[in-house]
Amino acid sequence: VVSTSDGGNTWKEQTFANNYFGIIRFVDASTGYVSGGDAVKNSKGKGRTSATQMEG
Protein backbone atom coordinates (compact mmCIF):
# COMPACT_ATOMS: atom_id res chain seq x y z
CA VAL A 1 0.00 0.00 0.00
CA VAL A 2 1.36 3.38 -1.00
CA SER A 3 1.08 5.99 1.71
CA THR A 4 -0.47 8.81 -0.26
CA SER A 5 -3.78 10.59 -0.46
CA ASP A 6 -6.12 9.74 -3.32
CA GLY A 7 -9.42 11.40 -4.13
CA GLY A 8 -9.36 13.30 -0.86
CA ASN A 9 -9.05 10.12 1.18
CA THR A 10 -6.08 9.55 3.45
CA TRP A 11 -3.99 6.39 3.49
CA LYS A 12 -5.56 5.36 6.81
CA GLU A 13 -9.07 5.82 5.43
CA GLN A 14 -8.17 3.69 2.43
CA THR A 15 -6.66 1.03 4.67
CA PHE A 16 -9.82 0.96 6.79
CA ALA A 17 -11.94 0.52 3.68
CA ASN A 18 -9.64 -2.25 2.45
CA ASN A 19 -9.88 -4.11 5.75
CA TYR A 20 -13.63 -3.56 6.01
CA PHE A 21 -14.36 -5.15 2.66
CA GLY A 22 -11.67 -7.79 3.09
CA ILE A 23 -10.33 -6.96 -0.35
CA ILE A 24 -7.50 -4.62 -1.30
CA ARG A 25 -9.26 -1.75 -3.04
CA PHE A 26 -8.31 1.88 -3.43
CA VAL A 27 -10.80 4.67 -3.00
CA ASP A 28 -11.62 6.34 -6.31
CA ALA A 29 -12.74 9.94 -6.40
CA SER A 30 -15.38 9.41 -9.09
CA THR A 31 -16.80 5.96 -8.40
CA GLY A 32 -16.05 5.46 -4.70
CA TYR A 33 -14.12 2.24 -5.23
CA VAL A 34 -12.00 0.76 -7.97
CA SER A 35 -13.77 -2.19 -9.51
CA GLY A 36 -11.76 -5.33 -10.10
CA GLY A 37 -9.29 -7.50 -8.23
CA ASP A 38 -6.42 -6.79 -5.89
CA ALA A 39 -4.06 -3.84 -5.77
CA VAL A 40 -1.46 -5.55 -7.92
CA LYS A 41 -3.94 -6.28 -10.67
CA ASN A 42 -5.37 -2.78 -10.50
CA SER A 43 -1.97 -1.07 -10.46
CA LYS A 44 -0.97 -2.93 -13.62
CA GLY A 45 -4.27 -2.92 -15.46
CA LYS A 46 -6.67 -0.30 -14.19
CA GLY A 47 -4.29 2.62 -13.83
CA ARG A 48 -6.53 4.18 -11.18
CA THR A 49 -4.86 3.18 -7.92
CA SER A 50 -2.72 5.34 -5.69
CA ALA A 51 0.29 3.23 -6.61
CA THR A 52 -0.21 3.93 -10.30
CA GLN A 53 -0.65 7.62 -9.68
CA MET A 54 2.60 7.71 -7.73
CA GLU A 55 4.50 5.70 -10.32
CA GLY A 56 3.03 7.57 -13.24
pLDDT for residue 32 is more than 50: yes
Distance CA 54, CA 46 (A): 14
Q: Which amino acid is at 26?
A: F
Residue 1 and residue 11 in contact, taking contact as beta carbons nearer than 8 Å: yes
Q: Where are the domains of the chain?
A: 11-55
> Facing residues of 28 across strands?
32
Q: Which amino acid is at 31?
A: T
What's the pTM value of the predicted model, to 2 decimals?
0.18
Task: Enumerate the H helices of 1-56 as residue ranges.
Answer: 11-21, 39-41, 50-55
What is the model's pLDDT at position 14? 62
Q: Stretch 37-41: mean pLDDT, rounded?
A: 46
When the pLDDT of each residue in the chain is averaged and rounded to a whole number, the result is 51
